[in-house]
Structure formats: structure tokens, C-alpha cells
Amino acid sequence: MKLGQWLGAIAFVASLYIIWQIRRLLLLLFTAVVLAVAINQLVRQLEKTRLKRIWAVWLSLSIVVTLLAGFFWLIVPPFAEQFQQLLALFPTGIERIQQGINWLEERIQGSFIPEIPDVNGFVQQLQPLSTNLLGRALAFFSSSVNMVLELLLVLVLTLMLLINPQPYRQGFVRCFPSFYRHRVDEILSRCNQGLGSWTVGALIEMVFIAAFSGLGLWILQVPLVLAHAVLAGLLNFIPNIGPTLSVVFPMAIAFLDAPWKAGAVLILYIVIQQVESYWLTPTVMAKQVALLPAVTLTAQIFFATIFGALGLLIALPLTVVAKTWIEEALFQDILARWKSAAS
């Protein structure tokens, strides 16, 4: 290899090392891009009413902030109250389970069921421990300066990208060789279209999950129907894992009312997720973004392993962008040309 080639190889390796070291910052930047693309869908609709972009941006942000504030006002206070009741009634639930086991042992003589030890001491130790862990978790999240700074950074970057996105896009395009810049601009347009389509599809799925969850919980007469429905819709943003998390709170609160309702809630959520997985997602996402289920799950595990919770949260947008670049840059611009040249 010539000296220039060695220098190029060293520069390439050094660039990969730098990118790896600042991967957290790049992920936050990508999160801002995803938010900007999602909000820009609303901005474009407002611009069609002949509203200037700056006012359309501020109006869109006001709508988003209002919805978020309403969500937290709807979810947090009732859940805090219900969770305290759940902790208070947890020993009673354990005691009921113990009474049921004792009743079963009395009905079955010579029972093969092993004797269940007294759980009073266990409950007395578990309740302070759970309360202590909850207090530490809340204190950690409330006092995490790093998380607040990252959130502020994402919000500021999102606002900048929304107000005037062209200079940032042009700066990114200039990072590529001149002969490929036009192609990069086309790929970015496809990425923008893919993220926008994915946003629309995700919103449709969220509305479906929230509506049918709320209807089912209303039929079962589970408290806080609206809060549970909204939470189920939002957590559906995280496929495979979000639906599992969304069933925990309604099951716990349903158990406070009647133990059989907890099982009914679990069955309800399983049925909804089966309908969503085998009918709604293939129907909606096939028209929006074609992502195979195995690819989705693998991407979630991969990005969660590398980036943690934030990587899991935005695994699907990352997958959409990666899929677009692989299809356009690798398959079409490189592999397809090799095939035509060989023939």
C-alpha cells in the first residue's frame, strides 16, 4: 500500500473510534432528528393553510406540549394514588393466597401439595424493601442532572432542526465526495419519507391499541380506564416490550377490585396484541414501512445492548433509516452495479 492509502486507512479507523466514543451524543442527535421529522408532519399540514413556517412550528410545538402536559396530568396523580393503595393491600393479597392454599389443602386429604411456609415475616420484610426501592428510584430519576441536560439538548436540537433544517442537511451532504452528494440528498429524502410514513403508521397503531384497550377495560369496569388506555397506546411505540409493560398497571389495579379481573385484563391485552400483530401491523406497516418482525426484534436487542434504554426506545426509527441506506447505497449503488458489470 502507498503512503496515501495508509494515511486514509488510519484516518478511517480513527474516525470509527471517535464515532464510537461519541455514540451517545450521536444517538441524542438522531433522537432530535426523529422528533423533528415527526413534528414536521404537523408543520406541513399547517403550512398548507398558508401559515408561515415559523408560526406553524410554534403552533405545532404548542400542541405537542399541551398534549404531553395533559397526559402527565391524566396519568401520574391517579397512578401514584393507586400504587400506594396497591402497596398497602399487598399483604392482604398474599394473605388471601395463603388462605386459598390452606382451603385447598383441607379439601384434599393426603395432599401432595408441599406445605407453604408462613409468609407474614416475608411480607413484613418485603413491603419496607419495596417502598425503599421505589423511593430510591424516584429520587434517582428526579435528581438525575445528566438526564435533564440530555433532554434539554434534544429539545433544543429539535427546535433548531424544525425552524431551519436546510443548512444542517446541506452540511451533512458536504461530508460526502462531490460525485455522490446528489445521491446522498436523494437518500436523505427517502429517509425523511420513511420516518414520516413510520410515524403515521405508529400513530394509527397507538390509536387502535388505546381505543380497544379502553373499550375492554370499560366493559370490565376497571378504574382509570382513560389513563390505562392512553398508557397502552403510548407504550405500543416500543414493540414486543411496550405491550408487556402496559398490562402491569391495569392488572394490578384490577386486582384491587377483584382478583378475577386481573386475569380478564391479561386475556384482553393478549387478544388485542394478537389482533395488532397479525392483522393491524401487517396491514398498516405494509403500506407505510416494510419491516420484518424478526428484523424488528433483532434491531431492538442490538440497539438496546449498545445504547441502553434510549436505543431501545428509538430502535425502530434507527432500523428504518439503516434499512433505507442499505437498500439505496449498498444494494442499488454498489451490488446492483457489480451485477450489471459482471453480466
pLDDT in tens, 201-240: 888 888 888 899 889 989 988 877 877 888 888 888 776 6
Q: Is residue 114 part of a domain?
A: no
d(CA 214, CA 35): 27
Q: Please state, in angstroms and as integers, the Cα–Cα distance from residue 149 to each residue in 19, 75, 195, following that order.
A: 21, 24, 26
Residue 99 lies in a domain: no
pLDDT computed for residue 89 by the predictor: 59
What is the C-alpha R_g of the chain?
Answer: 26
Find the helix or strand (DSSP H, E) in which 8 lies.
helix 3-21
Q: What pLDDT does 111 receive?
A: 47
Q: What is the pLDDT averaged over residues 116-130?
A: 51
Mean of pLDDT values over 107-119: 52
Q: Is residue 289 part of a domain?
A: yes
Residue 132 placed within a domain: no
Q: From the centroid of its chain, how far is CA 249?
A: 17
Domain membership of residue 216 as a residue range? 23-90+140-337
The pLDDT tens digits for 282-318 are 666 655 566 666 777 787 788 888 887 778 778 888 8
Q: Confidence class of residue 84 from pLDDT cuts 50, 70 and 90?
A: low
Alpha-carbon distance of 265 to 255, in angstroms, equals 10
The whole-model pTM stands at 0.68
Residue 18 counted as domain residue: no
342 is a domain residue: no
> Measured between alpha carbons, how far is residue 342 from residues 51, 106, 215, 332, 334 in Å?
53, 81, 59, 15, 12
Residue type, 131: T
Cα(100)–Cα(97) distance, integer angstroms? 5
| Spatial contact of 35 and 313, defined as CB atoms under 8 Å apart | no
Query: Residue 119 domain-assigned?
Result: no
Region of 240 on the Ramachandran plot (φ > 0 left; ψ -120 to 50 alpha; else beta): left
Number of domains in the chain: 1
**Range with the largest mean pLDDT of 116-125, 275-284, 304-313, 324-333:** 324-333
Q: Residue 47 falls within a domain, yes or no? A: yes
30-39, 92-101, 256-265: which range is least confident on average? 92-101
Whether 126 shows a pLDDT value over 60: the answer reads: no
- What per-residue confidence (pLDDT) applies to 119? 47
